[in-house]
Amino acid sequence: MDPHLVAVVVGLLQGVFEWLPISSEGNIAIALTALGTAPGVAVSYALFVHLGTALSATAYYRDEVRTALASWSSLRPESAFDGETATLSFVVLATAASSAVGLVALLALDALVTELTGGAFVALIGALLVATGLLQRFADARSLATRETPDALDAVLVGGLQGLAILPGVSRSGTTTSALLLRGHDGPASFRLSFLLSIPAALIGGTVGVVRGGGIGVSPTAGVVALVVAAVVGYATIDLLMRVVRRVAVWLLCVGLGALAVAGGLLV
């Protein structure tokens, strides 16, 4: 298939799947693997296009981003999670935690993809999708909206789970939102914190996709096409899809896609 057409498809998938808790990285990696892309390169490409939706999230949450950055001058260690600096402190500490965990997970992933065939790789992604869906179901059933602002434990826990989302099949939004729900935050607050946190995470993940061994396997032109499509589609769909997520049992979709991937991978 023409690499520019593949770039358009990858950008479309990223622009839609990023806002659904079904692991955009995992599903894009499955699609690319089905097209004959090596697992390691498929993961790099899937990480790379997160740069496009990072722009979408920044534009969509521009007021929240501006407010958080404006509180930087008021940030003090002893009162980091009090008042107006709580959101910024959460993002900074959670990003640090996700970077540390993500590095370990990335090293494990690199070791795995060198050993797995295409079918086994797809089956692994499917198993992680199923686990992500079941976590979301558990969080939906057990969540209690009892808190208004995040604390340091929230940041470390959510950041650590976000770091695991470097593994294709682990939904970043699904795991982080579930953790926030279980920690007592309501749905809207959980989504807002999760997607604010996605901005630095996507920038880091996209950069990792570019520099990790093997690259993304396409020309600079095709890469730009994928980013532009992901950014435009992402911005156009974010509001609608987040409203859908609040009203639909997306965990079932996650489990269903995972089960299909496991079955398909084992049959290859």
Six token digits for residue 70: 């404006």
* Residue 184 C-alpha from the chain's centroid: 21
56/130 Cα distance (integer angstroms): 27
Per-residue confidence (pLDDT) for residue 268, from 0 to 100: 65
Under a CB-based contact definition with an 8 Å cutoff, are residues 49 and 206 in contact? yes
**CA gap 44, 209 in Å, rounded:** 4
In this prediction, residue 217 carries a pLDDT of 83
Find how far residue 145's CA is from the centre of its chain: 24
What is the domain range of residue 203? Answer: 3-267
Please list the ranges in the chain whose pLDDT falls under 70. 78, 213-214, 268
Residue 208, phi-psi category: left (phi > 0), alpha (psi -120 to 50), beta (remainder): alpha
Percent of the chain with pLDDT over 70: 99
**Can you give the pLDDT at residue 168?**
92
Please list, in sequence order, all residues whose beta carbon lies within 8 angstroms of the beta carbon of residue 237, skipping any fewer than 6 positions away. Answer: 15, 16, 19
CA distance 35 to 44: 15
For the chain, how are helix, strand and coil distributed in percent, rounded to 5?
80, 0, 20
Q: Contact 261/123 with Cβ under 8 angstroms? A: yes
Tokens encoding 48: 């790379």
Give 115's DSSP letter.
T
Block residue for tokens 């692991």: 23
Total structural domains in the chain? 1
pLDDT of residue 193: 93
172-195 pLDDT, tens digit per residue, is 999 999 999 999 999 888 988 998
pLDDT digits (tens, 9 = 90+) for 135-151: 999 998 888 788 889 99
